[in-house]
Chains A and B, each alone.
Chain A
């Protein structure tokens, strides 16, 4: 009997060696290409974002954290002062409100779809979640703005309106991620609980959700990272502000993405008062520094999610 491949045992044929080499090269170069934007973006944001932190109120080159401790209240022209404290608070408050609205609704919807849903209603819910995933963010903003105008009064812009807009974007993401996680819980565990005479609702809360909690935490954090950088809906529904505002239900609020836009739009500062300290590029410095802070916040969130999922993950060790 003729053997097609006559290489000795344990040796790769030239053809397979070539294929292996090609595939390895492809995989590594794809990885490299995927890394380029990430590295480039990080490099740009860091090199441009650090400058504001090395500019004190006198326009001297000194490290300071004014930028994180001040709002933009009373900051005019090219004055090298003014910061993002109001925008950090706005972003954190609005995102927290969004999470408080979206996480329960999203997870409960996912529980319905995985554990209870049947037939037409289940298909309808799945369909509408799909549709919601595709809503452009500006439309969500307009929706929330219109809703607030109808309910509260024309032209109402509050932090809460923004949270409603972001919830429209966040809920479908939470539903999708949680649904996947709940489906990963083995059916055997549900059966084990039923066979012990545990009612369904307790099986869902104490076995299914408890087993999936690590994945749920990761999904929720990813959903938060997704909405924390949203600009358009907040521009429409929350507007701008230069001062601190801790009240989600009254008045406009600043958020980090909107802050970046508003500083960028100002363009170079005009310096025509020779007695005042003036840095023409200050608006650009502020925008990049705010972008750097936003990225750091998202990174911290992802780290927290990892810690949470590690703490809750089923322990497999012996």
Chain B
């Protein structure tokens, strides 16, 4: 479990449009890395290239390398479906499957891929995953109720349970708290701290306080103007980033002078 990711000279295109230009960075295992930056700067797009989810969008393509423990995710013969089993993802808006119960949602990664899971094994997996997502105590008596019957924050933790149930190496989170209230946000942030014991976590956030609270390392992305590609401005330990950033743009963004 938990692998490191090295990105070398990555460009992301939508058709002929260069969306993200020349990003190189390293993501350490068993740590939380946060991506911050103004809207439209390409941080979510970049995040999606780490598990090839950008390929869902027609005409999106990538140049460069993403190495996971030395294996290029874009190398020949690499199946994007297999990549996504190693690199899980949690989205901005909680999206449990509406036709499934809570426990079916947790097992979705197996059931939807036609993988057989024994009854006992399934029960253990459900409990372990929900406990891993700090949701077990709240839902253990209603596992057969629909996933959509939960509150927004609980749904998001259900989605995290669903993502960790397939035991990925890396967990990507695309603004996981932006649709949640402060209490649910706190619950998810605590959970992120626990999850980093076992997983490599990458989180995109609009909320700089959140990055400061949860991340070990922070990367700042920026965009020169509309129609220009997003770029990685700088990346450093979170404490350094928020106290003594080396770039003027980072300091301006963090101190709220723009964005």
Contacts and interface: CB of A to CB of B under 8 A. Distances in A.
Interaction A to B: yes
A189 B163 CA distance: 14
B85 interface: yes
Interface stretch (B143-151, B190-198, B228-236): B143-151
Nearest to B168: A197
B162 A196 contact: yes
Interface of A: 118, 186, 188-199, 202-203, 206-207, 210-211, 314-318
Nearest to A210: B99
Interface stretch (B19-27, B69-77, B86-94, B130-138): B86-94
9 contacts: A188-B91, A193-B97, A193-B112, A196-B108, A197-B109, A203-B112, A211-B98, A314-B99, A316-B146
B82 interface: yes
Contact of A315 (B114, B146, B166): B146
B166 A197 contact: yes
Contacts of A203: 112
B212 interface: no
Interface of B: 51, 53, 56, 58, 81-85, 88-89, 91, 93, 95-99, 108-109, 111-114, 145-146, 148-149, 159, 162-163, 166
A199 B97 contact: no
Q: Chain A interface mostly helix, strand, loop or mixed?
A: helix
Given A191-B91, A207-B97, 14 more contacts: A192-B108, A195-B51, A195-B53, A196-B84, A196-B85, A196-B88, A196-B166, A197-B82, A197-B166, A198-B109, A199-B81, A315-B148, A316-B98, A316-B148
A118 B85 CA distance: 27
Contact of B93 (A188, A199, A317): A188
B32 to A, nearest CB: 19
A211 B146 CA distance: 13
B56 A192 contact: no
B214 to A, nearest CB: 21
